[in-house]
Amino acid sequence: MHEGKNNYKEEIDWGKVSLLLKIGIIGALINLAGDLLSGWSVRDTSLAGIEELVSQYLTMSDKRIFWSAILGLLGAPVSVFGHFGIYTLIKPYSRQYAKLFGMGTLGLFALGGAGVHMSSLASAFFYKYITAADPEIALAASITFVCSFSLPLYIAFFVFWLIHTYAHIRAIAGAFSPYPRWCWVFSIPVGALLFSLVNVFGNYAIVNAITVGALTLGNIWALGGSLLMLDEAKENHEKIPCSILVMEKESKPEFC
């Protein structure tokens, strides 16, 4: 084989990809359970601004906070295994996008559970008890707490998430994967946006819970869509060209 080419027909373990996607969906469902536990409440509309947005955590029991944190801590990293399956499908088609996607995926694996979900619940726990101790300083102290401890983790997470999302959408929309180009719609931001639209129904417990879990639901949307279209991806892979020239810039397949 000419140096610099990847074989399009390189062996892909489709059973392994399917298993990884299924494990990812299970992990995302566990994470979603944690999101729903933390979000299932009605906001106090007598308050305004940030205080209204976080008021639901004041009535949340310690047990719910604990289990929400644990479910997210376990579920978030497990859900990332599904994206390792998608990485396997991008790699034969583009080293560039596979490298970006893999970098973003590793960041999500490291930061999704402990960095975002767990730290968010720790902030809610802090706000709940500082409000009970001194309502006058509760909001300001909580904002300082979040900015000092949680915000750096959020920033790092979303940098990796943006890299992951860009590579995912660009690889599929640009035909650097066996999926049809239109399958870029099975991406996290599209799913998260669709589920976040429930906000129009107002301040209800189920609406607030879905809103809190919108990003996780977007993840389920992405993994579920990828699994749904896996058979078609396999058919496409078996029909497409023998090799691809991998370059620093984007490249298109060389047909046999």
Query: pLDDT by residue (tens digit) across 168-223?
Result: 999 999 999 999 999 999 999 999 999 999 999 999 999 999 999 999 999 999 99
**pLDDT reported for residue 239:** 81
In whole angstroms, give the CA distance from residue 77 to residue 118. 12
pLDDT at 246 over 60: no
Tokens 């720790």 sit on residue: 122
Mean pLDDT score, 114-142: 93
Average pLDDT over residues 107-136: 94
Signed CA dihedral, 177, 178, 180, 182: sign only:
negative
- Other Cβ atoms within 10 Å of 241 Cβ, number: 12
Helix (H) or strand (E) holding 245: strand 243-245
- The pLDDT value given to residue 238: 85
- Mean pLDDT (whole number) for 236-243: 71
Spatial separation of the C-alpha atoms in residues 226 and 18, rounded to whole Å: 9
Do residues 254 and 243 make contact, with C-beta atoms less than 8 angstroms apart?
yes
Distance CA 28, CA 34 (A): 10
pTM of the predicted model as reported, rounded to 2 decimal places: 0.89
Least confident of 44-58, 79-93, 207-221: 44-58
**pLDDT per residue as tens digits for the range 58-68:** 989 999 999 99
Residues 6+ apart with CB under 8 A from 106: 160
Angle, alpha carbons 79-84-85 (nearest 5°): 100
Both tokens of 20, joined, read: 């990884």
